[in-house]
Amino acid sequence: MERLQKILAQAGVASRRKCEELILAGKVQVNGETVTVLGTKADPATDTITVNGKNIGAEQKLYLLFNKPKGVITSASDPQGRKIVTDYLKGIKERVYPVGRLDYDTEGLLLLTNDGEFAHLLTHPKHHVPKTYLATVMGVPHGNDLDKLKQGIMLEDGMTAPAEVEYHDVNPDNKQAVISITIHEGRNRQVRRMFEAIGHPVIRLKRIAFGKLYLGTMKRGVYRHLTKSEVESLRQSAAAARKNDQP
């Protein structure tokens, strides 16, 4: 017997938090009876569980790494008709959704899954799984500027956590620099706002790593399945980050 919200999340219905909302809204039935009490337990092997009248099945869990191109929406749909990430997932019949987001103008490593619990684990604010970006910025920041990012910098929504920052490439002739930055948070447009705060706006932004998972030489617009060891490594990264964050 497992808690109902956990069963739903593991079946890929949604994140555990969203599944709790579905239960409270009276949209979940167990053996034909509507359940609205959180913590209710069921057995997915013997009970018939439905969401909005649709049976949940033991759907195969999928874990995908996608190299998102610039100009693609990290969403399941877009009313403006722009490209969305699932447009590139040819051959994937299961409903998968992004783990976190990359904004429209940001490219690089994006995870997608139908495992709600896995997605929640990697995106929960307490877990702080590190994410590494290559930021091409206007001008060449001085070492003192990078030190500000390393120590944490004040944004409109508060002080950022310390970041790992170093020069990746410098082109004084073009008055540009490529900076490698690893952050442990997931605020909206955080990396862009951090560089704007030190006076070096981002021209191009690419995520190259999520935890110990690296994009490598994968071409833009291409996806692949994660290996079991890669999935487990991400779980361990989240668990380790949460442990290190505890007092």
| Residues acting as catalytic residues | 103
Alpha carbon 74 to chain centroid, angstroms = 10
Task: Measure the N-to-C terminal CA separation of the chain; round to a whole number of Å.
Answer: 33
Query: Strand ranges (DSSP E) for 48-130?
Result: 49-51, 54-55, 63-68, 97-98, 106-113
Helical spans, DSSP H, in the chain: 4-10, 16-24, 116-123, 143-151, 190-197, 228-245
Helix (H, G, I), strand (E, B) or coil at 107: strand
**Residue 125: which residues within 8 A CB-CB, separation 6 or more?**
185, 186
Task: Determine the Cα–Cα distance for residues 105 and 122; give it in Å rounded to an integer.
Answer: 22
